[in-house]
Amino acid sequence: MSNLEKDRIALFGTSADPPTIGHKKILEELSKIYPFIITYVSNNPKKRHQENMSNRSLLLRTLIEDLKNPKIIFNQKISSQWAIDSIKKTKEIYGCNSLDFVIGSDLIADIFYWKTFNEIVKEAGFLIIKREGYPIKSKDIQTLNKNNVNFKISTLNIPKISSSMVRVNTCSSNLPISLIDIVKKNNLYISSKLVE
């Protein structure tokens, strides 16, 4: 991916149920190509979340604090289950006009059905991160272009891990180290079954 405009920021909303080493890698890699990354926990209206937003926010905030990277900003105030609301709040709070909304390739087909999709594409571009098992098909590219979506496909190499894998396999090796004690202490994700 080429260098992006200096004032263009990345907006990375995530369910973070829980945040994984994949989330950590995404944030670290985004910080190499964007001047700022704003991230937050959101409720995806198509998902049933295992933990409440407060617990998930604590975990994501802890992960970001552990990264000690001033380019990565956690701001739960911009959270909304609707992308357009988070985009507008971000622009208002940070005074930026150019931002890329970060999504995984598993969400490409969904975005066309998002609330106020046409408004979203006027307000933001998309950075699409390839996820294993969710190839980006030529018909996806055609549909993005047909709908005048400003998008880039990331070249980031992200580990094959998802929050659902952590919940199902209860394996702490897929959690960032800084989160393991919090998960166990608060008995999150059936932490009594977590294995090292």
Q: Which residues have C-beta within 8 Å of that of residue 185, sequence separation ≥ 6?
A: none
State how beta strands 125-129 and 99-104 pair: parallel
User: Is residue 4 one of the residues assigned to a domain?
Assistant: no
Would residue 62 count as lying in a domain?
yes
Domains contained in the chain, number: 1
Q: What integer pLDDT is reported at residue 1 of this predicted model?
A: 33
CB-CB contact of 155 with 180 (8 Å): no
Q: Measure CA 5 to chain center.
A: 21
How would you classify the pairing of strands 151-153 and 125-129? parallel
Query: Residue 18 domain-assigned?
Result: yes
In the chain, the N- to C-terminal Cα span, in Å, equals 36
Determine how β-strand 9-14 pairs with β-strand 72-74: unpaired
What domain range includes position 152? 9-191
Residue 2 maps to a domain: no
Q: Tens digits of per-residue pLDDT, 39-96?
A: 999 988 777 888 899 999 999 999 999 999 999 999 999 999 899 999 999 999 999 9
Q: Does residue 3 belong to any structural domain of this protein?
A: no
Q: What is the pLDDT of residues 141-181, one digit of tens each?
A: 999 999 999 999 999 877 777 787 777 765 667 889 899 88
Q: Is 196 contained in some domain? A: no
| CATH code for position 49 | 3.40.50.620
Residue 157 lies in a domain: yes
Higher pLDDT, 28 or 191: 28
Tokens 């998902």 label which residue? Answer: 47
Report the predicted TM-score, pTM, of the whole model to 2 decimal places: 0.89
Q: What is the pLDDT at residue 12?
A: 97
User: Does a structural domain hold residue 48?
Assistant: yes
Q: How confident is the model at residue 2 (pLDDT cuts 50, 70, 90)?
A: very low
The Cα–Cα gap between 51 and 39 comes to: 18
